[in-house]
Chain A
Amino acid sequence: MNMDIVDARGLLCPEPVVLTQRAIKNGTAALTVLVDAVAARENVTRFAASRGYAVSVSEQNGEFKLELSKK
């Protein structure tokens, strides 16, 4: 079970995408990304989709938890 977490809260675009890209470079099967802006949520979602990951998003107190899993 892979429990990698990227905490990109408080970071501005394109930083969340850059960190996510770095984290999945070695073909990680599952990854959690935390962000706190709609732009970051949308950008990481687009990035994950372009790399063949399914994304499920949950929101709590204005923060977003993105769970990426390799399709």
Chain B
Amino acid sequence: MEAQVKLTKLSSCAGCGAKVGAGTLSRLLGDLPTHADPNLLVGFDRSDDASVYRVSDELALVQTVDFFPPIVDDPFTFGQIAATNALSDVYAMGGEPKLALNLLCVPEKMPQSAVKGILAGGYSKVFEAGAIITGGHSIFDEVPKYGLSVTGFVHPDRFFKNLGAREGDVLFLTKPLGTGILTTAEKAEMLELGEIDRAITIMTTLNRGARDCAVCYRVHACTDVTGFSLMGHMLEMMQGSDVSARVETGAIDFLPRVLEFANMGLLPAGVYRNRAFAEPYVDEENLPLPVRDALFDPQTSGGLLLAVDPKDADAMERDLKASVPSAQRIGTVLAKGDKSIYLI
């Protein structure tokens, strides 16, 4: 009989918390040469979620890749989370995923059943998304990693950018926050049996519902909230849009016990990386420290952050409530101020 594998014991930083910091990344990419191509609508000169390339006046290709080390112990669940997260970048552009390629790194000694489990989890979510896995590549590596490169389609005039938010826009978030903190508490064995389940449900919920809803309204900017945290991703959106945001922290939905664990210092290291990057641009008021910390929590497979025309906000809120795990109306976009984000 094969030994039970505890996947998270094989990795030091989990899920999107393993992401290279936003500041480091832009320094690394700064000097690389890029071709100019009028059909490249979104490239890596901008920190968007995926690249978009116009094929015709009616069709653009959306491409993205995402992979990370295990955030949970169960192989099937890990595969589901990694796939949900990889597909999310296509949804964040307002697109529909069509094709996907597996990226898999596994230790030579990992039981075959675990490897199969990871892949089966990935397949299940790609299937649910209506896309097809057409191949992939696997190598041996001490720390397991899984993810996918996903290709999708979008209309070249109607994709979502992570910038373009306008003064007066209403900000929505479509999943509760705190998956980084809860998985850290799980690693510390502080959770009761079954308490991680809600976080797993959130991490394995496709952002398709949010995307399908959002494309019916005037969305000026959209991104998915992942490793850089709500604050990091919102900061990119606000700076790119040359505006500021006012965020009502009381309207933010944290997963159960997240603030309790934040208060106990059960915070992933990514919280401090994200804070170091975004803190100078965030006015944190005198809010309780656990709330402020949780806003910098790296999310794995988080929800969409949307800036929506105020005329559409009420209708979209009603619509979102029926189609996403947690429809939160978290703030408004202001004219550019001294800070990029004002928490209240």
Contact = CB atoms under 8 A, between A and B. Distances in A.
Interface string A4-48: 000000001110011000000000000000000111001111111
A2 B62 CA distance: 61
A55 B272 CA distance: 19
B267 A13 contact: yes
Contacts of A13: 184, 266-269
Interface in B265-312: 265-269, 271-272, 289, 293
A48 B187 CA distance: 19
Contacts, number: 49
A17 B264 contact: yes
19 contacts: A13-B184, A13-B269, A14-B187, A14-B265, A17-B264, A17-B265, A17-B266, A18-B188, A18-B189, A39-B267, A39-B271, A39-B272, A42-B272, A43-B265, A43-B266, A46-B262, A46-B289, A47-B266, A50-B263
Contacts of B189: 18
Interface residues of B, number: 19
B314 to A, nearest CB: 39
Interface of B: 12-13, 184-185, 187-189, 262-269, 271-272, 289, 293
Nearest to B17: A13
A46 B185 CA distance: 14
Nearest to A18: B188
